[in-house]
């Protein structure tokens, strides 16, 4: 495992961090973690050198923290820095800061969390928790030992990112969505460098766009196949990040042991400035092809869920994008129809849960307020159903702007 400087801290983080959002689950139920397998994966990662573990109050329907309290026993808790997060929608008054943190410490079965993040803050939620005194409250929680250091995760535009970085002198790090497709999106490369220039570590989330960059469509796979260096699509994405000195830790929400093994191997072979000009040009070509292929920039983060009308928004978008990017609308339509037959035999992997189709959308647009990507979900859903449910050609619909 490679280790990298972590901002102003006298500590180095492992190049690869373990994200607690996508543990393997039982029968497709997001809240029911497959604890034996997830524990085996987590222990393998830590034994392989991972020393940063990241979770949040609402991951796996609130069970990620509970799982980690058990999985990190037996000496594993002492081997990692543990981060969890405060979700601003759970805060309505100042007393909620203590209530949330104390509940999380109880679920984690610990008296202290190494890093506590203000989660997903943006132009809407940052003023709200700032004006409730979150920074002053956090200083108190650091003083009484419940929090080691304060950090934040971010989904919004660069000017807001700069404002948040500058609002507090003692952030440990900022966590941003960043990958070779998002260099000019949200905080982007400019935000990465700005935070680092202020002494913050930068932790990367969505390094593979919710797994989308790990499954290359034919046109992109052809680029990887022609490259002078042989790598998996996931490894290309990770190495692009680790090539940059400002990147401290790259999080991966791993769901299988195979992903753990591959990612440890990738991290162990990583380094700043290790990609050649030819390799960087290969990634540039892949980006151009992806940008031309992918119609909906959904990362399956799940913040739009649950839908009050039962629509599984990320899954519908995944199917729609799959039909376009992999040039396989027939398969996308088959999965779209199959997912509503509750008596059917279950698929394996990502396709084995009964999910709600796009036709259930009533355009209430509550989801759009929560979407970090700013996707006009209510405009997309009727189109998704026309293409996948009514066999209208992709070419016959007009995409929302």
401 in a structural domain: no
Q: Beta strands of 35-134 (E only): which ranges? A: 52-54, 81-86, 113-121
Question: Do 261 and 335 fall into the same domain?
Answer: no
DSSP secondary structure code for residue 80 in this structure: S
d(CA 171, CA 150) in angstroms, rounded, equals 6
Q: Which residues contact 159 (CB under 8 A, 6 or more apart)?
A: none
User: pLDDT tens-digit profile of 72-121?
Assistant: 999 999 999 999 999 988 899 999 999 999 999 999 999 999 999 999 88
Question: Do 84 and 184 fall into the same domain?
Answer: yes
Question: Do 287 and 346 fall into the same domain?
Answer: no
Closest by alpha carbon to 155, among 377, 372, 367, 370?
A: 372
Residues listed for the chain:
401
Question: Do 245 and 342 fall into the same domain?
Answer: no
**Token pair in block for residue 238:** 């990770």
Torsion-angle region of 97 (φ positive above 0: left; ψ -120 to 50: alpha; else: beta): alpha
308 in a structural domain: no
Question: What domain range includes position 174?
Answer: 3-292
| End residue of a domain, out of 263, 292, 321 | 292
Cα torsion for 15, 21, 26, 27, to the nearest 10°?
-120
Question: Do 27 and 91 fall into the same domain?
Answer: yes
Question: Do 128 and 245 fall into the same domain?
Answer: yes
Helices (H), 276-363: 277-293, 313-325, 329-338
Question: Do 260 and 336 fall into the same domain?
Answer: no
Question: Do 223 and 344 fall into the same domain?
Answer: no
**pLDDT the model gives residue 177:** 92
**Token pair in block for residue 203:** 């932790």
Sign of torsion over alpha carbons 181, 187, 190, 192: negative
| End residue of a domain, out of 236, 258, 292 | 292
307 in a structural domain: no
Give the total number of structural domains in the chain: 2
d(CA 397, CA 291) in angstroms, rounded, equals 19
Q: What is the CATH number of the domain that holds 159?
A: 3.20.20.100
pLDDT tens digits in sequence order for the chain, 401 residues long: 999 999 999 999 999 999 999 999 998 888 899 999 999 999 999 999 999 999 999 899 999 999 999 999 999 999 999 999 999 888 999 999 999 999 999 999 999 999 999 998 888 889 999 999 999 999 999 999 999 999 999 988 899 999 999 999 999 999 999 999 889 888 999 999 999 999 999 999 999 987 878 888 889 999 999 998 999 999 999 999 999 999 999 999 999 999 999 999 999 999 999 999 999 999 999 999 988 888 998 888 888 988 998 898 988 998 898 888 877 888 888 888 876 554 343 333 333 344 588 888 999 999 998 898 889 999 999 999 999 988 888 878 777 86
Question: Do 257 and 352 fall into the same domain?
Answer: no
Element (H, E) at 3: strand 3-6
301 in a structural domain: no
Question: Do 339 and 265 fall into the same domain?
Answer: no
203 in a structural domain: yes
Cβ(340)–Cβ(389) below 8 Å: no
306 in a structural domain: no
Three-class HEC string of 250-269: EEECCCCHHHHHHHHHHHHC
Question: Do 101 and 146 fall into the same domain?
Answer: yes
Residue with tokens 């009533």: 362
284 in a structural domain: yes
User: pLDDT tens-digit profile of 118-167?
Assistant: 998 888 889 999 999 999 999 999 999 999 999 999 988 899 999 999 99
| End residue of a domain, out of 292, 325, 358 | 292
Question: Do 43 and 182 fall into the same domain?
Answer: yes
159 in a structural domain: yes
């Amino acid at each position: 495992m490679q280790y990298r400087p972590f901002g102003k801290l006298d500590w180095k983080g492992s190049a690869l961090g373990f994200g607690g959002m996508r543990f393997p689950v039982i029968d497709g139920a997001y809240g029911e973690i497959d604890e034996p397998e997830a524990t085996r994966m987590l222990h393998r990662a830590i034994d392989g050198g991972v020393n940063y573990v990241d979770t949040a109050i609402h991951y796996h329907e609130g069970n990620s923290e509970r799982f980690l309290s058990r999985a990190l026993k037996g000496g594993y808790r002492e081997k990692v820095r543990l981060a969890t997060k405060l979700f601003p929608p759970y805060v309505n008054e100042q007393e909620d800061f203590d209530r949330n943190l104390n509940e999380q410490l109880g679920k984690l079965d610990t008296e202290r969390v190494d890093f506590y993040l203000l989660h997903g803050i943006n132009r809407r939620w940052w003023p709200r928790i700032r004006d409730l005194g979150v920074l002053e409250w956090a200083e108190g929680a650091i003083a009484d030992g419940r929090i080691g250091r304060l950090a934040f995760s971010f989904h919004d535009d660069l000017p807001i990112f700069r404002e948040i970085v500058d609002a507090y002198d003692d952030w440990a790090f900022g966590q941003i969505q960043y990958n070779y497709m998002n260099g000019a999106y949200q905080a982007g490369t400019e935000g990465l460098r700005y935070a680092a220039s202020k002494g913050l570590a930068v932790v990367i989330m969505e390094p593979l766009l919710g797994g989308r960059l790990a499954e290359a469509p034919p046109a992109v796979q052809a680029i990887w196949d022609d490259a002078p260096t042989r790598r998996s699509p996931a490894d290309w994405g990770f190495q692009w990040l680790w090539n940059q000195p400002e990147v401290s830790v790259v999080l991966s929400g791993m769901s299988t042991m195979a992903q753990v093994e591959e990612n440890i191997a990738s991290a162990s072979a990583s380094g700043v400035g290790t990609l050649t000009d030819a390799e960087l040009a290969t990634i540039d070509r892949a980006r151009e092809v992806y940008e031309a292929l992918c119609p909906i920039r959904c990362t399956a983060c799940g913040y739009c869920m649950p839908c009050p009308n039962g629509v599984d928004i990320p899954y519908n978008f995944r199917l729609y994008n799959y039909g376009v990017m992999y040039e396989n609308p027939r398969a996308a339509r088959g999965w779209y129809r199959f997912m509503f037959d509750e008596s059917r035999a279950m698929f394996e992997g990502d396709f084995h849960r009964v999910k709600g189709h796009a036709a259930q959308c009533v355009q209430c647009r509550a989801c759009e307020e929560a979407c970090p990507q700013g996707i006009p979900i209510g405009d997309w859903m009727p189109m998704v159903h026309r293409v996948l449910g009514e066999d209208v050609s992709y070419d016959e619909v007009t995409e929302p702007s």
